[in-house]
Structure 1
Amino acid sequence: MWIRRILILIGFVFGVLLIAALPRLLEMLLFSSSSSTMPKEYNVLIFGTLDPSTLKVSTPEAFRSIFDDIFGYVKGILTGESFTYKHFLYFNQNEEVSETRNFFIETRPLIVYSAVNMVFASVLALLLGTLIGLLLARSRGWIKNALEFLVIIPDFATAFFLQLLVVFLYTRTDILIAEVATTSIDTAYLLPFLTLFCLPFVYIVRMVSSHTYKVLSEDYILTAKSKGLKKRTIYAQHILRNILPLIKADLFRIASIMTGNMIIIEYLFNSPGITRFLAPGLDRNLGYVPDLFHQKPNLFDQYPIMVNSLWSLILIFFLTYGAMRLTITGLERRFAHD
């Protein structure tokens, strides 16, 4: 059994290293083949270089380079080199001046912000979603239709709606109830949290209300009612006991969806989370001035940054998943017992 677990762990780690290498591999394969036919200005915009010939990479060379990066990262774990990156400072006579920084020290406050936001949003969505789902179990009509509609709304649409709503209320009342985006002066806390909370909350409410409606028609529930058991006792020891395993089975999916949505939400609200570190590399700050290119490290230029960014997201995912599992365990010990 332990050999199987070790093999699974090794496969998981190698899978992360390989996934982290795919964007750069695709970049080399897709752009290098056409770099010779691109205008010089396009190469400056996309690659930040004036020499298109340096971008010509054959397919075997591209794969060899990727596996060299993976091997170098594994080798650098022992020395700590894999957890560092080159941070651009300035140009000195057209030469880039940079310094070596520790990735996890630089991103620690960003990771903490993202993790705390995710954990609190997920736990609150789980608790309120379960409670309201139980209360709305017998509700039908427009409430059911509203839940069916809300669950398909993407997070970016929710973010835009909340921002527009705050602006609309401010123009009518001159009262700013929340910051619509983080700036150098103020930080937006409420709207990113609500956006992150909304989708798992609606999903859990919909799931709990649907399954509770089915459980209420079971024979053992009718028997419990005929014995004169209180409604609270029936819900806690009979209905909730059957609902919690269904929620637990979906926690992995909920945590995965929230982690993916977190990247979009933090970017839209300019939140001081891990996305703030990732965005410069993902955006590839387009411009003719080389200084604009090197304001912050690029995920595609430094392989350890991509790997460590994935590890950061995986850590946030497991913290979120673990918090929800602990919450479910607490509910089971408090209510779903004999």
Structure 2
Amino acid sequence: MVRYIQQMIIVIFLILFLATLPSIVLVNPTNGTVSLNFAQFPSMVGNFFKELSTGSLGTYYVGMEQRSIASEIGDNFFTSFYIVFVGVLLSILLSLLFGIFLSRFYLTKIFRVMMNIISTIPDFIFIIFALLFAVNIYKWTGFRVVSFLPNGGALNIWFPMVLVAIAPSIYLFKLISERYFLIAGEDYIRTAVAKGLKVDRINFQHVYKNIEPFLVADLVKVLSLAIGNLFIVEYLLNVSGLTKFVFQSFGDPQPIAIGLFGILFISLLVFVVIRLLLYLFKRGFIYE
């Protein structure tokens, strides 16, 4: 319990440090030198908690217009949550489907080749290419795949979900495929095959049960990949998510800290929900 409290304090300190970093780093315009003014850090942290104690989350600017964070954070929170949750869930479903249950089919070989090709491209570059491809689809066919308007509705949400799912899918698919081939050579799998058990039963009752602990252990890594892509996707596609408070803060620590804390809470919430879904799946389809 004490260790968790210590970790929580460290995380809070790191988030506040990152939020105040743009104000701490000072650049001299005359000679271009960079200096750090850590003396402002305690006062900025104090102002942050003082603002919270008044029941307000503070304000941020859109152009010259000052807006309240509390009045907009609800919709932005759920937008980012939907993108991360669906992206992570989609990556898990695709990885399990092609890594275990469809691994013996030719379609999986095509999927593996695609994942290997995409994995050689940096995430940022791949997202840029995907956006250019979506724009060209609209030019060629007149069919709108993506919208760059903050109020674009489904067009402004489903494409970011797919892009966020790319990096976690590549990571999980390689992990699950590697574990699948290792487990497939074990003696108990050969015994099950010799007894005439169906492949689907073997995959569910033996293979998945032994892969599931590795999936759960790497869930934090999967979430970190999804969150990293969330910043890129929401910025490039002009999505009104929590990262808006970070990018449109103009160095103000208050909205940056609120945005980062909100993203941290999204990570924890998605982690809990995914763990719950994996538990329900195991209880519903896997016999102990």
Q: Which residue pairs with 2:172 in the alignment? A: 204
Unaligned runs of 5+ in 1: 39-55, 91-97, 282-297
Give the partner amino acid of 2:239: S
Q: Is the 8 A contact 2:89 2:274 kept in 1?
A: yes
**1:20 and 2:14 equivalent?**
no
Aligned match for 2:85, one of 104, 119, 122: 119
Superposed CA deviations along residues 51-92 of structure 1, whole A, max 9, x for unmatched, are xxxxx9975xx21111211133234433235x21265896xx
Superposed CA deviations along residues 160-205 of structure 1, whole A, max 9, x for unmatched, are 3333333434444x34151253366674333222211222223222
Q: Which residue pairs with 2:75 in the alignment? A: 109
SS of the residue aligned with 2:59?
strand
Task: Mark the CA change 1:269 to 1:4 in structure 2 (over 3 Å): closer, same or farther.
Answer: closer
Q: What is the identity percentage for the equivalent residue pairs of Structure 1 and Structure 2?
A: 25
Q: Which has more radius of gyration?
A: 1
Task: Mark the CA change 1:144 to 1:117 in structure 2 (over 3 Å): closer, same or farther.
Answer: closer
Q: Which residue pairs with 1:35 in the alignment? A: 29
**1:84 and 2:58 equivalent?**
yes
Q: Which residue pairs with 1:161 in the alignment? A: 129
Deviates more, 1:204-213 or 1:180-189: 180-189
SS of the residue aligned with 1:122?
helix
Task: Mark the CA change 1:118 to 1:107 in structure 2 (over 3 Å): closer, same or farther.
Answer: same
Task: Mark the CA change 1:178 to 1:66 in structure 2 (over 3 Å): closer, same or farther.
Answer: same
Q: Is the 8 A contact 1:110 1:272 kept in 2?
A: yes
Distance, in Å, in 1 between the alignment partners of 2:34 and 2:175 is 50
**1:320 and 2:286 equivalent?**
no
Task: Mark the CA change 1:88 to 1:239 in structure 2 (over 3 Å): closer, same or farther.
Answer: closer
Q: CA deviation at 1:326?
A: 1.9
Normalising by structure 2, report the TM-score.
0.85
Give the partner amino acid of 2:59: Y
Q: Which residue pairs with 2:40 in the alignment? A: 65
Distance, in Å, in 1 between the alignment partners of 2:48 and 2:169 is 39
Task: Mark the CA change 1:146 to 1:88 in structure 2 (over 3 Å): closer, same or farther.
Answer: closer
Task: Mark the CA change 1:190 to 1:303 in structure 2 (over 3 Å): closer, same or farther.
Answer: closer
Q: How many residues align?
A: 285
Task: Mark the CA change 1:9 to 1:80 in structure 2 (over 3 Å): closer, same or farther.
Answer: same
Deviates more, 1:201-210 or 1:148-157: 148-157
Aligned match for 2:195, one of 224, 227, 241: 227
Task: Mark the CA change 1:309 to 1:184 in structure 2 (over 3 Å): closer, same or farther.
Answer: closer
Distance, in Å, in 1 between the alignment partners of 2:51 and 2:272 is 30
Superposed CA deviations along residues 192-243 of structure 1, whole A, max 9, x for unmatched, are 2221122222322222122111111100000111122222221111000011
Q: Which residue pairs with 1:263 in the alignment? A: 231
Distance, in Å, in 2 between the alignment partners of 1:89 and 1:213 is 54
